[in-house]
Structure 1
Amino acid sequence: MTRTTTTMTVRLSGPLSDFVAANVSEHGAYENVSEYVRDLIRRDKERTEKEAFERLKTELAHAFAAPESAYKPLTAADVIARNRT
């Protein structure tokens, strides 16, 4: 797997800059801004994936709760045609 590296420049001022500075210091949770930003991105990615998983679980719960009469047989072609629309 090939990994890419992206360099970003972000400008912060005022309260946001102060907040980052407080978290990136000798007494902060992070050693440098890059480490802090990577952690924020990882947490956001995890949150997004969790939300998608929860939506899927909800859809599946509804599907499994449906009465047997709500189901109808489908061929692979039926499913492909339905998903194209």
Structure 2
Amino acid sequence: MNLNVRISGSLRDFVTETVTDGDYENVSEYVRALIRRDKERAEREAMEAMKVRLQDAFAVADSEYEHLSADDLRRRALAGTNR
């Protein structure tokens, strides 16, 4: 994939300074690093959200759970419903 991005003003100056300071060999490398960092952030946020959902689920008292047989689960799966 090729992308063309126009930046100007202070953003252009910042990118130029970041690349010429030797942190990155070129602008493409810098942009790839930014995308990787953003992807890692999104993955961390998704993992944190999953942890919260799991903590909430495990905080429920055992008496709140409904005991189902394998046949019950199959019927629900085939019916496409959670209840």
Sort the TM-score into its range (normalised by shorter chain): 0.7 to 0.9
Task: Render the CA deviation track for 1:2-37: whole Å, top value 9, x for unaligned.
Answer: xxxx11000000011001001011x23111000000
**Which ranges of 4 or more aligned residues in structure 1 deviate by more than 3 Å?**
none
3-state secondary structure, aligned to 1:50: helix
| Structure 2 CA distance for partners of 1:72 and 1:23, relative to 1, 3 Å | same
Paired residue for 2:76? 78
Aligned length: 77
* The 10-residue stretch of structure 1 (72-81 or 53-62) with the greater mean CA deviation from structure 2: 72-81
Larger radius of gyration: 2
Query: What's the TM-score, normalizing by structure 2?
Result: 0.83
| Structure 2 CA distance for partners of 1:43 and 1:28, relative to 1, 3 Å | same
Could you tell me which runs of 5 or more consecutive residues in structure 1 were left unpaired when the two chains were aligned.
1-5
Query: What's the TM-score, normalizing by structure 1?
Result: 0.81
Displacement, 1:70?
1.3
- Residue identity (%): 52
